[in-house]
Amino acid sequence: MTPFTYNGLPSRVIFGHGTLSRLAEEVASLGCHRVLVLSTPEQEGQARQVLEHLGERGAGIFAEARMHTPVEVTEKALPIIASLDIDGVVAIGGGSTIGLGKAIALRTDLPQVVIPTTYAGSEMTPILGETQNGLKATQRTLKVLPEVVVYDVDLTLGLPVGMSGTSGINAIAHAVEALYAQDRNPVISLMAEEGITALARSLPIIAGNPGDHDARSDALYGAWLCGACLGSVGMSLHHKLCHTLGGSFDLPHAETHTIVLPHAVAYNAEAAPEAMARIARALGNRDAAGGLYDLASAVGAPLALRDIGMQARDIDRATEIATRNPYWNPREIETDAIHRLLSDAHAGRRPTTMEAIES
């Protein structure tokens, strides 16, 4: 057995159907009496539902969360928190709202309860990415790890098919990079493979039948596992590319992860053969990169960066930003190869690895 270090993260998870009914008791257990509910403008209706469940502990709603966690949105929320004497936050939604809750916690130390309605997985991580002046910067600190996560499968039944697929593959990306992370360990690797398997099994079912309760439960379970993987080990090339494309070019988060992932995996295939074998097995495909591309196609997700707003002229600048301060990666970061990767992702080409050719 290769030596390893494993750090368990101190978060409480409530998983099931109808678990939103337990929200008030979970907030009370944190000692909170005046809680602010966070959401995007589109999910303000769900935020009001949460406020009702909180009863007298609900102090108000801030429904201005935005993609990529702009610093200016956080700064707008802070005076409201002070004026309402808030002692905790409840975030309902996906990565945008969860990111806002984390940004607030970083600055105030307020406890967080998170109610995920997508499969992004950021609720399980001590990682915050914030955007300011056209650049996205990430940091890892336990100050932003939510204290309680309430997974209610019923709240995901209305998640549109398109977002279900892309946020699910976004979650898979966390597990994929955990399998070849510099600080990987056997516990997280088991969780990663199980998470990929659960999502790869459930996402195509959801694409055909969005109301399938078993598939929705399976997908949320997989998202939890994948998020926990991202929270426990480091990120590599895929996440660096997506942070660059999202923060500097304002591309949609989940769609960007979905498109880039097969190409990042193909880039690393020869440098991480054991990880590739586990990814391929979880996908039920002989080729990890090709299997991820096929999964995206099967759920109707976009396959090309040009289809989500990236211009061909931006490839040069994206390459420069992504290679300026790269994350650790199993394969050396080569500027020309990254440019080819982004060009392939921009065009939506199916990635091909040597393993696929030889088999």
Q: Give the CATH number, domain containing residue 43.
A: 3.40.50.1970
264 within domain boundaries? yes
The rounded percent of the chain whose pLDDT value lies above 70 is 98
**What is d(CA 266, CA 352) in angstroms, rounded to the nearest whole number?**
7
Range of the domain at 59: 12-156
- Kindly state whether residue 7 falls inside one of the protein's structural domains: no
- Comparing C-alpha atoms, which of 22, 136, 36, 143 is closest to residue 92? 36
Same domain, 183 and 327: yes
Using an 8 Å Cβ cutoff, are 97 and 37 in contact?
Answer: no
φ and ψ at residue 91, rounded to 5 degrees: -105, 125
Q: Are residue 165 and residue 151 in the same domain, yes or no?
A: no
| Predicted model pTM | 0.91
- Say yes or no: 124 and 259 in one domain: no
Out of 156, 190, 220, a domain closes at 156
Please say whether the beta carbons of 329 and 268 come within 8 A.
Answer: yes
Q: Residue 3 falls within a domain, yes or no? A: no
93 and 169 share one domain: no
pLDDT at site 294 = 98
Q: Give residue 357's pLDDT band: very low, low, confident or very high (50, 70, 90).
A: very low
List Cβ neighbours of 291 (8 Å cut-off, separation of 6 or more).
200, 279, 280, 283, 284, 285
Whole-number average pLDDT of the chain? 95
Q: Which long-range CB contacts under 8 A does 59-63 form with residues at least 24 apart?
A: 59/34, 59/35, 59/84, 59/85, 59/86, 60/36, 60/84, 61/36, 61/37, 62/36, 62/37, 62/38, 62/100, 63/38, 63/39
Supply 139's token pair.
């940091």
The pLDDT tens digits for 324-348 are: 989 999 999 999 999 999 999 999 9
Give the model confidence (pLDDT) of 95-135 as tens digits. Answer: 999 999 999 999 999 999 999 999 988 899 999 999 998 88
| Residue 5, pLDDT above cutoff 60 | yes
Are both 139 and 216 inside the same structural domain? Answer: no
Instruction: Decide if 260 is inside a domain.
Output: yes
Residue 210 sits in the same domain as residue 333: yes
Per-residue confidence (pLDDT) for residue 219, from 0 to 100: 98
355 pLDDT above the threshold of 60 = no
236 and 324 fall within a common domain: yes
Amino acid at 161: V
State the angle between helix axes of 186-208 and 273-283 in degrees (0 to 180), rounded to the nearest 10.
30
So what's the pLDDT on residue 10?
Answer: 84
- Cβ pair 95, 242 in contact under 8 A: no
Tell me how many domains the chain contains. 2
Q: What is the pLDDT of residues 160-197, one digit of tens each?
A: 999 999 999 999 999 999 999 999 999 999 999 999 99
For residue 354, pLDDT over 60 is answered with: no
Sign of the Cα torsion 51, 55, 57, 60 reads positive
Residue 49 has pLDDT above 50, yes or no: yes
In a domain? residue 225 = yes
pLDDT tens figures, 10-33: 889 999 999 999 999 999 999 999
Based on the domain organization, do 316 and 343 belong to the same domain?
yes
Confidence of residue 353 (pLDDT cuts 50, 70, 90): low
Residues 307 and 328 in one domain: yes
> In CATH, what number is assigned to the domain containing residue 182?
1.20.1090.10
Q: Is residue 2 part of a domain?
A: no
Q: What pLDDT does residue 106 have?
A: 98
Same domain, yes or no, for 109 and 207?
Answer: no
Mean pLDDT in residue range 275-299: 97
Closest by CA to 47, choosing from 36, 34, 57, 32, is 36
d(CA 281, CA 291): 10
Domain co-membership, 124 together with 178: no
- Note whether residue 1 is domain-resident: no
| Residue 93 located in a structural domain | yes
To the nearest 10 degrees (0 to 180), the angle between helices 213-232 and 161-179 is 40
User: Same domain, yes or no, for 208 and 351?
Assistant: yes
What is the radius of gyration, based on Cα positions, of the chain? 19
pLDDT tens, residue by residue, 199-235 = 999 999 999 999 999 999 999 999 999 999 999 999 9
User: What's the pLDDT score for residue 119?
Assistant: 95
Predicted local confidence at residue 269, as pLDDT: 97
